[in-house]
């Protein structure tokens, strides 16, 4: 979809549909909505007084103009309660009105800048959020079927201030870039596991590297054997698909050898291995590489934004399947850092491959390290499907990630890491075992990962509950969400700014 800023009066724009708005509880529309209402002989005011238009967040009311305006349709987007309004609400509003108008076969639409002025939000922030929310909300995965609706081809963001156009176009450009990276991650996650194997994931990383001038490396089984990655290779033993360890590197600061580390869990299909999962819902386990997809596409976006910072992504990729050669409960593996691991459950495989990836990140000298993983069902039990769990050994880094997440609208919640729970990970025959008991499972999984980062500042983000959605809401759609992409991009940008300020 083409998105541009134009100067004009929304009521005079020729399009299939124009979009205005209303806060919840407002009885008399103002601003652009009032101008459109007047042109429609008070139709909007009448519908408000009758209670048909309430302005609730997520509502999109349609009024046909019957020739009274150049546009055929007016959509009134509900902004919700004014005190709850935010930039993230603008993203949600854009997603909702775009989907509503797509269903009405609108190809060309125009919208005002929602939240500017009375909403207390800067024009640039609103324009960026509209572009981002529109592209995220219109996403659909139609590679293997015919699309249900035709695409909206163009959206015009209409403003009064001509002098603002250049800066608004830059803001829109960033919104489009971030949304495109998130949608690219969604595409990878939504791919069936027979089309997104570890080898195909490596090819996808290679394409990103080629397109955005990133350094790319891929290590095969023989390389990992030489490096001593028994934990990753142990998980891979049950599959005929060869495992891959993928790295992507962005060099934005030639003066520095320091680099931020992004790690993503890349289990392209998780059956549970010998500790096999129930068959119901197993097909959804193609999304167990959501962390890997997020760090890969985030790096592509960072390369386009060109912040003065160095970032390296590490993606351990494999399938987790049962077979005659598969890893067994009771087996002992040695990670690259020399620590031995007793395998209690082969379905706790994500932490095994991350053990080697984290150790490798340390060897490369990456700091700080952030890993993103669909790690535990326990995190979903604890936080539901709206919040990702954040664990770490450095409060300053945790705060930075929570701040970046808040800015992007990706909900995250800090979880505790009490030393007392480490007792659950103690093994009788190895340095550590790969599961504790059923209580506090997300915490004990994070404590397991902490064994492989030593003193490096590190944060683990458990996205098991947030990597996919079963319903549409705002800019979230059914299927893969692309969670983490926008937070990682924002973190890299803010870290670059912090380093420049020093």
Q: List CB contacts of 114: < 8 A, sequence separation 6 or more.
A: 21, 77, 79, 90, 93, 94, 126, 130
pLDDT band at 502 (very low <50, low <70, confident <90, very high): low
DSSP-derived letter for residue 51 is T
Q: Please state, in angstroms and rounded to a whole number, the distance separating the CA atoms of residues 195 and 494.
A: 35
**319-355 per-position pLDDT tens digit:** 999 999 999 999 999 999 999 999 999 999 999 999 9
Q: Please state, in angstroms and rounded to a whole number, the distance separating the CA atoms of residues 341 and 257.
A: 32
Q: Which of 56, 68, 160, 277 is catalytic?
A: 277
| Predicted model pTM | 0.97
Domains of the chain: 2-179 (3.40.220.10), 207-390+418-452+463-501 (3.40.630.10)
Q: In sequence order, what DSSP letters do the residues of 75-87 get, joined into one string?
A: EEEEEE-GGG--H
**284-301 per-position pLDDT tens digit:** 999 999 999 999 999 999
The answer to whether residue 351 is catalytic is yes
Q: In sequence order, what DSSP letters do the residues of 62-108 get, joined into one string?
A: EEE-TTSSSSSEEEEEEEE-GGG--HHHHHHHHHHHHHHHHHTT--E
The percentage of the chain sitting over the pLDDT mark of 90, rounded to a whole number, equals 97
**442-472 per-position pLDDT tens digit:** 999 999 999 999 999 999 999 999 999 999 9
Q: Please state, in angstroms and rounded to a whole number, the distance separating the CA atoms of residues 77 and 380.
A: 32
Q: List CB contacts of 355: < 8 A, sequence separation 6 or more.
A: 231, 232, 335, 336, 337, 339, 341, 448, 449, 451, 452
| Per-residue model confidence (pLDDT) at position 498 | 86
Over residues 174-195, the mean pLDDT reads 98
**213-247 per-position pLDDT tens digit:** 999 999 999 999 999 999 999 999 999 999 999 99
Check if the beta carbon of residue 265 is closer than 8 Å to that of residue 250. Answer: no
Q: Which of 351, 400, 433, 486 is catalytic?
A: 351
- Give the rounded distance of the alpha carbon of 181 from its chain centre: 9
| Per-residue model confidence (pLDDT) at position 118 | 63
- Looking at the predicted structure, is the pLDDT value of residue 254 above 60? yes
**2-37 per-position pLDDT tens digit:** 999 999 999 999 999 999 999 999 999 999 999 999
| Per-residue model confidence (pLDDT) at position 244 | 98
Dihedrals phi, psi of 348, to nearest 5 degrees: -100, 55
Nearest in space to 116 (alpha carbons), one of 93, 134, 137, 139: 93
Overall size of the chain counted in residues: 502
pLDDT band at 499 (very low <50, low <70, confident <90, very high): confident
Residues of 159-174 as b/e, b for ≥16 C-beta within 10 angstroms? beeeebeeebeebbbb
Over residues 246-257, the mean pLDDT reads 96
- Looking at the predicted structure, is the pLDDT value of residue 164 above 60? yes
- Looking at the predicted structure, is the pLDDT value of residue 501 above 90? no
- Looking at the predicted structure, is the pLDDT value of residue 119 above 70? no
Nearest in space to 289 (alpha carbons), one of 315, 314, 312: 315
The percentage of the chain sitting over the pLDDT mark of 70, rounded to a whole number, equals 99
- Beta strands at 260-264 and 215-219: parallel, antiparallel or unpaired: unpaired
């Amino acid at each position: 979809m083409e998105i541009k800023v134009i100067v004009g009066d929304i009521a005079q724009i020729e399009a299939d549909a124009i979009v205005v708005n209303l806060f919840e509880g407002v009885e008399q529309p103002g601003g652009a909505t009032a101008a459109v209402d007047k042109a429609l002989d008070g139709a909007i005011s009448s519908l408000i007084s009758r209670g048909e238009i309430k302005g609730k967040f997520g509502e999109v009311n349609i009024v046909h103009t019957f020739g009274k305006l150049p546009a055929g349709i007016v959509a009134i987007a509900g902004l919700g309660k004014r005190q709850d309004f935010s930039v993230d609400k603008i993203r949600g509003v854009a997603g909702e009105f775009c989907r509503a108008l797509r269903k009405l076969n609108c190809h060309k639409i125009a919208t005002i800048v929602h939240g500017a002025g009375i909403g207390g939000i800067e024009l640039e922030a609103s324009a960026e959020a509209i572009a981002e929310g529109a592209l995220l909300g219109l996403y659909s995965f139609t590679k293997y079927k015919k699309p249900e609706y035709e695409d909206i081809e163009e959206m015009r963001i209409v403003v009064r201030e001509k002098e603002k156009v250049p800066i608004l176009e830059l803001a829109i450009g960033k919104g489009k870039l971030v949304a495109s990276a998130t949608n690219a991650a969604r595409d990878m996650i939504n791919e069936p596991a027979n089309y997104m194997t570890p080898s195909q994931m490596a090819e996808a990383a290679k394409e990103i590297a080629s397109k955005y001038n990133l350094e790319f490396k891929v290590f095969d089984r023989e390389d990992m054997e030489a490096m001593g990655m028994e934990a990753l290779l142990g998980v891979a033993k049950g599959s005929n698909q060869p495992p891959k360890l993928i790295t992507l590197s962005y060099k934005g600061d030639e003066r520095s050898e320091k680099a931020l580390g992004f790690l993503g869990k890349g289990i392209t299909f998780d059956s549970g291995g010998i500790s096999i999962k129930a068959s119901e819902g197993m097909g959804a386990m193609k999304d167990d590489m959501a962390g890997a997809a997020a760090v890969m596409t985030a790096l592509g976006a960072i390369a386009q934004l060109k912040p003065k910072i160095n970032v390296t992504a590490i993606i351990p990729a494999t399938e987790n399947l049962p077979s005659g050669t598969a890893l067994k409960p009771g087996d002992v593996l040695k990670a690259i850092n020399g620590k031995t691991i007793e395998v209690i459950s082969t379905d706790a495989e994500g932490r095994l491959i991350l053990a080697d990836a984290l150790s490798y990140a340390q060897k490369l000298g990456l700091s700080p390290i952030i890993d993103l993983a669909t790690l535990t069902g326990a995190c979903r039990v604890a936080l539901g499907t709206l919040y990702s769990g954040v664990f770490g050994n450095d409060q300053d880094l945790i705060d930075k990630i929570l701040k970046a997440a808040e800015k992007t609208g990706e909900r995250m919640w800090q979880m505790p890491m009490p030393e007392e729970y480490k007792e659950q990970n103690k093994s009788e025959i190895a340095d550590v075992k790969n599961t504790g008991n059923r209580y506090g499972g997300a915490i004990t999984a994070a404590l397991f990962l902490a064994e492989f980062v030593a003193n490096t500042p590190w944060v683990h983000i458990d996205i098991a509950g947030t990597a996919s959605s079963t319903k549409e809401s705002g800019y979230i759609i059914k299927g893969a969400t692309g969670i983490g992409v926008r937070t990682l991009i924002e973190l890299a940008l803010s870290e670059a700014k912090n380093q420049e300020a020093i």
